[in-house]
């Protein structure tokens, strides 16, 4: 066993033992414990747990990779996801907590005085959550397969086992305290390598400042900033300038950002975290603390992406472009390159039989003409998956084995924490909203708790199966999950809080219309999803065949949300308004108690 394997098994094993120990200590004894952790979680602790719940494998593993290969265009994830949290904190979390229910479908069912609305909300929740959980299972499989020497499938099964222990036993109570530990693990795993690499490249220990700092080579100042150096390096290889590159058209970037924002605000596994605090005021504080904890990683991600791209190019391009010494001899490739080749996420093809690695933008006509003069015959890095960037970054930079092992533990913590939250949202929708809310309203608390645990087992088995055999439309990106939440649940929640006269017919019609139009758009284009990250060369994202105004499937959730709002308003006008007690209920949720007492109004 190598030193890296020893470190990896030790650190990952220690974190898993911690998660299991927390589950035993905090096992759920009531439905309140299982669904909302008893409603007594401290707002700071809840903010930390919310941050871990939110920062999934997509945030930890994939986001920096997208920024690395898409430059400025990758900022849609930073703006969309953090902006969505602001929406959630200001417009949803306090009011939903004041409503005092366990789940999102329960709020929708009661607010719209309709079991049909509740069932439709359950369907929307399950579709968005299952799509999202596939990405977490993929992250678990990749991390296990690369670093722990097991197959992708065995990695997913191991992840399922760990989640099963603490989620089934503890419910929301166990998940909450486990997520606090997972946040600590993932944030140290993300920032420690970034600090080392920032010191190496800029001499600045803060990656956020190092990103705009002066680039240093072997401790000697280069006289240019790190971003200017990266712009120079990528344009020398025929790629678009890193700091101005966009993902498709400007319209697509805007709609994509909006879709991620309102999708974030509509994701059920995030919303239910604000049901776990004692008071409405605590829900606001929780959202604020969550933003602080999330910001630590999200402000580090751009530096991680840029520095990883620069290190990766330096590894492959070892001399002047166009010279024989300018390309790495394949047989001399570093060990990290060989290890990632074994996963299938990194592939090289010798297109001109010279035994060297040519890496450039062969879709750039001007640069392709130069490359032909040098005997290059296409970009030979035929597959470099975006998802390897964070996990491989410490290896590329030559950091110690314990740092690499810590990153593995962090990636697993991010995937497991979000997977657990999603699985709880799915199981509570089945046991609390369908079983107790619709089919067996008089079921005892003991039997409902058992049903919740059985539903959790079923959800874990389904997640594992879909992780091993992902459907085509969801295999590429978790962004589809945000689109589904944005187009179905977010409008219903917003109108439920701020439009007291919105009726059940309008809400149900809107949810169905938004969900259907988004699914149809995704399925129609499932063969051309752009975010799969299978090449260094970012495709021209604005030119997809038959895309609506160049809007990609991952960005279509915002359009689906618009359809939802329009259909709901149109149907609302032809149906009876909600009962008076529902309208008073909405006013009570929105307006603080005692409001107007000083003026007599």
User: And the tokens for 472?
Assistant: 């085509």
Place of tokens 């005997």: 375
Q: How far apart are CA 368 and CA 398, in angstroms?
A: 32
Q: Which tokens in the block code for residue 601?
A: 């109004």
pLDDT tier, 474 (very low <50, low <70, confident <90, very high otherwise): very low
Would residue 330 be called left, alpha or beta, if left means φ above 0 and alpha means ψ between -120 and 50 degrees? alpha
pLDDT at 375 over 80: yes
Task: Give the pLDDT mean for 80-102.
Answer: 82
Mean pLDDT, residues 284-306 taken together: 89
pLDDT band at 477 (very low <50, low <70, confident <90, very high): low
User: Would you place residue 533 in the very low, low, confident or very high pLDDT band (cuts 50, 70, 90)?
Assistant: very low
Q: What pLDDT does 206 receive?
A: 92
pTM of this structure = 0.83
Instruction: Kindly write down the DSSP assignment for every residue of 509-570, as one continuous string.
Output: HHHHHHHHHHHHHHHHTGGG-GGG--SSS---GGG-TT-GGG--GGGTHHHHHHHHHHHHHH
pLDDT at 279 over 60: yes
The residue ranking higher by pLDDT, 121 or 532, is 121
Q: Are 357 and 380 in contact (CB under 8 A)?
A: yes
Mean pLDDT score, 204-231: 87
Give the torsion sign (CA, 400, 402, 407, 412).
positive
Neighbouring CB atoms inside 10 A of 567's CB total 21
- Residue 33, pLDDT score: 80
Q: Quick check: helix, strand or coil at residue 353?
A: coil
Contact call for residues 107 and 493 (beta carbons, < 8 A): yes
**Mean pLDDT, the chain, as a whole number?**
83
Specify the CATH number of the domain 3-308+398-470.
Answer: 1.20.1730.10
Residues 129-151 have pLDDT tens digits of 888 888 778 777 777 766 676 77
Query: Which tens digit of pLDDT belongs to each residue from 297-335?
Result: 999 999 999 998 898 888 888 777 777 677 888 898 888
Q: What are the domain boundaries of the chain?
A: 3-308+398-470, 314-391
Instruction: Give the pLDDT confidence score for residue 547 in this predicted structure.
Output: 65
What average pLDDT does range 164-188 have in this prediction? 87
371 pLDDT above the threshold of 50: yes
């Amino acid at each position: 066993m190598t030193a890296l394997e020893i470190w990896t098994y030790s650190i990952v094993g220690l974190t898993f033992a911690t998660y299991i120990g927390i589950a035993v200590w905090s096992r759920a004894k009531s439905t309140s414990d299982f669904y909302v952790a008893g409603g007594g979680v401290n707002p700071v602790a809840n903010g930390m747990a919310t941050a871990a719940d939110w920062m999934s494998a997509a945030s930890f593993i994939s986001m920096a990779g997208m920024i690395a290969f898409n430059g400025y265009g990758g900022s849609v994830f930073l703006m969309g996801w953090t902006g969505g949290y602001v929406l959630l904190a200001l417009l949803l979390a306090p009011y939903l907590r004041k409503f005092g229910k366990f789940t999102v479908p329960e709020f929708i069912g009661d607010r719209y005085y309709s079991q049909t609305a509740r069932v439709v909300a359950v369907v929307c929740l399950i579709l968005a959550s299952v799509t999202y959980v596939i990405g977490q299972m993929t992250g678990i499989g990749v991390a296990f397969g690369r670093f722990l020497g097991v197959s992708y499938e065995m990695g997913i099964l191991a992840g399922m086992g760990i989640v099963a222990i603490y989620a089934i036993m503890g419910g929301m109570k166990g998940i909450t305290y486990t997520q606090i530990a997972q946040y600590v693990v993932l944030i140290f795993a993300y920032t420690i390598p970034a600090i080392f690499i920032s010191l190496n490249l800029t001499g600045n220990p803060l990656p956020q400042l190092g990103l705009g700092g002066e680039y240093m080579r072997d401790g000697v100042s280069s006289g240019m900033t790190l971003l200017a150096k990266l712009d120079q390096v990528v344009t020398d290889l025929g790629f678009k300038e890193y700091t101005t590159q966009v993902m498709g058209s400007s319209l697509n970037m805007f709609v994509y950002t909006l879709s991620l924002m309102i999708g974030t605000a509509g994701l059920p596994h995030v919303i239910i975290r604000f049901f776990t605090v004692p008071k409405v005021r605590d829900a606001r504080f929780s959202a604020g603390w969550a933003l602080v904890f999330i910001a630590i990683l999200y402000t580090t991600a751009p530096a991680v992406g840029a520095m990883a791209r620069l290190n990766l190019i330096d590894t492959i391009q070892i001399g002047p472009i166009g010279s024989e010494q300018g390309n790495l001899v394949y047989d001399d490739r570093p060990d990290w390159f060989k290890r990632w080749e074994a996963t299938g996420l990194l592939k090289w093809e010798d297109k001109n039989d010279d035994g060297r690695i040519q890496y450039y933008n062969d879709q750039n006509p001007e640069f392709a003409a130069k490359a032909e003069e040098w005997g290059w015959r296409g970009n030979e890095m035929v597959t470099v998956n975006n998802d390897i960037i964070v996990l491989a970054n410490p290896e590329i930079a030559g950091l110690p084995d314990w740092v690499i092992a810590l990153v593995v533990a962090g990636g697993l913590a991010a995937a497991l924490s979000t997977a657990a939250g999603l699985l709880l949202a799915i199981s509570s929708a089945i046991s609390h909203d369908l079983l107790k809310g619709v089919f067996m309203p008089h079921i005892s608390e003991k039997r409902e708790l058992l049903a919740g645990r059985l539903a959790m087992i079923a959800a874990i088995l389904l997640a594992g199966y879909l992780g091993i055999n992902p459907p085509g439309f969801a295999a590429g990106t978790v962004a589809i999950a945000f689109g589904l939440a944005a187009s179905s649940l977010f409008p219903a929640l917003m109108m439920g809080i701020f439009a007291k006269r919105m009726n059940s017919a309008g809400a149900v019609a809107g949810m169905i219309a938004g969900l259907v139009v988004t699914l149809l758009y995704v399925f129609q284009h499932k063969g051309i999803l752009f975010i799969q990250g299978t090449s260094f060369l970012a495709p021209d994202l604005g030119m997809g065949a038959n895309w609506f105004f160049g809007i990609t499937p991952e960005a279509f959730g915002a359009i689906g949300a618009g359809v939802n709002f329009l259909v709901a308003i149109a149907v609302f006008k032809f149906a009876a308004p909600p009962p008076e007690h529902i309208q008073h209920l909405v006013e009570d949720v929105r307006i603080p108690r005692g409001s107007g007492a000083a003026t007599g109004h």
